[in-house]
Homo-oligomer: A and B are copies of this chain.
């Protein structure tokens, strides 16, 4: 399709003179003009890095049906390494004959992530070649020279005994923690697991007390085994939440079914308060202003490992349901699904993974806030990461150029308006910051947060969870002699 459009270009805005009905201003970035990223601390101004013409204009110009996907998955196709049902029997027989690797709980989460293509184009646990690129460059160079983002090493550790047991076998069977055969790992490569270097380069610290490190790296073996996965059947948890675990392919289909012309993803591991809701609704409003007709919110809580004091997944899912029931978010334009990845709490390194995985799930906008994937420094009284580094690193990350990054300004409780509002530095004294820790303290102590902080239905879910938790903690674990 060829098309002539009259453009008036100012440094940051392009007036796109289409049909009068669609005449609109769009950020210059979105037509491929890419000035240096500018960080707006005082406004939700999207920084768009889209090299393609926005779907909005295509749709409005051509009048055609919205294309099947808004953003190409990394590597061109969503990886799917789940064995077809017809081959399950023979592959299972084969797997039984192979040397075995026993998986930890965290490994199963990664098998799940890889199997559905969240980490596309990765088809299995990283070989050394991929591991080194991930560790040093946060990205992988593909055979055709293109670069995809890959900021976290997705690796499988084995101990000396397992390595010896594998010997020179090229394929191994992967066995779940309960002893069930889950997958085959093909054309494997075993290489050294230098834990210190992995931790230093991933977290930017080697201080003791990093949750993922303490739980899963320190106790892990001194070798890594990479290879291509064949997963014998879809990973299920049977926790009553599997229906929330939509795969990237299922999400892409759902976005198409709803004829979304923009999908904006919101990653979270905490209950949704009205500040979150404010910015999600505000993002939608701005996308509509930009000319999108049907922006869909992907509310995408992380479902894998989280640290002990985070609110458990089941409670969060119940809370999110209430938020939609109470009308704080619009169910018509929202999809709630679980992102199966575990948390690293690796700040600017991890936020790239969070964004990249959502590209594969079909989201073309990604919302990023203050200190994404951050936590307190484990041994010092400060944030582990500079709270602004996450969005800066994200906007500069190799392989994420096709994703529109939406930094937002901080929302806080406005004690004058008695509601969550965007923080206004000119009257900073009026604002109350309620961190995740503080919110959990409110709920735990039974104290009510300020009116308008969270919808009552959602709050009740949290209060009840902490009541149960305290009751459990008060109960002796066992009757001692």
Q: Which residues of A pack against B, CB within 8 Å?
A: 34-37, 128-129, 132-133, 136-139, 141, 143, 145, 147, 151, 192, 194, 196-197, 200-201, 203-207, 348-349, 385-386, 389, 392-393, 396-398
Contacts and interface: CB of A to CB of B under 8 A. Distances in A.
5 contacts: A132-B392, A136-B349, A137-B397, A197-B204, A197-B385
Contacts of A136: 138, 151, 348-349, 393, 396-397
Contacts of A200: 200-201, 203-206
Contacts of A37: 129
Contacts of A36: 129, 143
Contact of A132 (B133, B143, B207, B393): B393
A382 to B, nearest CB: 9
A389 to B, nearest CB: 7
The interface centre, meaning the residue of A37, A145, A204 with most chain B CB atoms within 10 A of its CB, is: A204
Contacts of A138: 136-137
The 10 A-B residue pairs with the shortest CB-CB distance, nearest first, are A197-B204, A200-B200, A200-B204, A206-B206, A201-B204, A133-B396, A200-B205, A136-B393, A196-B205, A132-B393
Contacts of A197: 204-205, 385
A354 to B, nearest CB: 15
Nearest to A192: B386
Contacts of A132: 348, 389, 392-393, 396
Given A132-B393, A392-B132, A398 B141 contact: yes
Given A386-B192, A386-B194, A137 B204 contact: no
Contacts of A147: 398
Nearest to A396: B133
Nearest to A199: B200
A34 B206 CA distance: 37
B398 A128 contact: no
A348 B132 CA distance: 10
Contacts of A192: 386
Contacts of A392: 128-129, 132
A39 to B, nearest CB: 10
A389 B192 CA distance: 11
Nearest to A35: B143
Contacts of A137: 137-139, 396-398
A34 B142 CA distance: 10
A265 B361 CA distance: 46
Nearest to A382: B194
Contacts of A139: 137, 398
Contacts of A386: 192, 194
Contacts of A35: 143
Contacts of A398: 137, 139, 141, 147, 398
A143 B35 CA distance: 7
A139 B141 CA distance: 13
A397 B137 CA distance: 8
Contacts of A203: 200
A54 to B, nearest CB: 19
A129 B36 CA distance: 9
A129 B205 contact: no
A33 to B, nearest CB: 11
The interface centre, meaning the residue of A132, A139, A192 with most chain B CB atoms within 10 A of its CB, is: A132
A192 to B, nearest CB: 6
Contacts of A204: 194, 196-197, 200-201
A397 B141 CA distance: 9
Contact of A206 (B145, B151, B205, B385): B205
